Structure 1
Amino acid sequence: MSLVKRTDRLPFILEDIFNTDWFGGTSSVSKIGLNTPAVNIKETDDSFTIDLAAPGLTKEDFVIELDTNVLLISSEVSKEIKEERETYTRKEFGYSTFKRSFTLPDTVKTVDILASYDNGVLSVKLPKKEEAKVQPKRSIEIS
């Protein structure tokens, strides 16, 4: 058995205190997600798709707005947990908010934008205007 003095343990202890529930398990507050969600943007011939990773939220937690050619996705969530037992009372609360904005190209058909939320991912589909879609190769006759 090795007796090694750990001088670097203090940051880990503080991390444990702030990230762990005092009575076992992971803190419910930390499940809210206090960071700006990651985003993937994919382009196909017909559309753009914005996928925003936001597990633990519901579709009602999002606000999606379009102002001219700027798409704004935001969320504001507040949660409170209160647990009362014979020997103690525990009260935790959490607040999470984020805003992401995207300047849309003129090729997006803004009236047909669709959004869905499934398995922790918000997907916003931005269809392209007909004239912006890739046209098939064709031959042009010379006159």
Structure 2
Amino acid sequence: MSNLVTVPKNGNTIKKNFNYPTRSSWFDDFLLGELPTVFSSNFNTGISLPKVNIKEIADAFVVEMAVPGLKKSDFKIDLDNFTLSISAEIEENKEETNENYTRREFGYSSFKRTFTLPETVDDSKINASYNEGVLNIHLPKREEAKQKPARTIKIS
């Protein structure tokens, strides 16, 4: 469908809608319309790249990753030369048998997020926890990098 606007000599705008579909718009509607939703609604069960919040507090950095539906054992967290990698792989097989049919579905999903840590992180004290769909990674700062409380300096 195309929208054409004509401007007459008096300056008023008149909008005309022409509803004559072209062959290419029919083709686009077919390919971009219902066909992909039919396939994606049944077969797109993979994990998208999870959202991550990273915050800095006085004595650490905290990474929060929203990954509901997984188990603690699904995750792999690696640290290699100040590069933190968080990944998960899930393989799923389902079979439903009825007297008239058998339905089998299988899927494989994975993701990997990688972060470069600042050198102020004490890598020997990093810990992680997973609770109610949120993976938390606590990255403590080295003692010399921790923020010191504000203080007043007396003039002598």
Which category describes the TM-score, using the shorter chain as reference length? 0.7 to 0.9
- Residue 73 of structure 1 corresponds to 86
What's the TM-score, normalizing by structure 1? 0.79
What's the TM-score, normalizing by structure 2? 0.73
Match of 1:95 among 74, 93, 108: 108
Distance 1:69 1:126 in 2: 11
- Residue 114 of structure 1 corresponds to 127
Report how many aligned residue pairs link the two structures: 132
Distance 2:40 2:66 in 1: 21
Distance 2:122 2:79 in 1: 12
Secondary structure in 1 aligned to 2:34?
helix
By relative contact order (CA 8 Å, sep 6+), the higher-ranking structure is: 1
C-alpha RMSD of matched pairs (Å): 2.3
Secondary structure in 2 aligned to 1:17?
helix
Distance 1:65 1:114 in 2: 11
Match of 1:52 among 50, 56, 65: 65
Structure 2 stretches lacking a partner, 5+ long: 1-25
Question: What one-letter code is carried by the residue in structure 2 that aligns with 1:93?
Answer: F
Distance 2:41 2:153 in 1: 68
- Residue 14 of structure 1 corresponds to 35
Structure 1 stretches lacking a partner, 5+ long: 1-6, 22-26
Question: What one-letter code is carried by the residue in structure 1 that aligns with 2:34?
Answer: I
CA deviation profile, 1:79-133 (whole Å, cap 9, x unmatched): 0111111111111111111111111101111111111111211111101111111
> Which has the greater radius of gyration?
2
Secondary structure in 2 aligned to 1:83?
strand
Identity of aligned residues (%): 50
- The CA deviation at 1:38 is 1.2
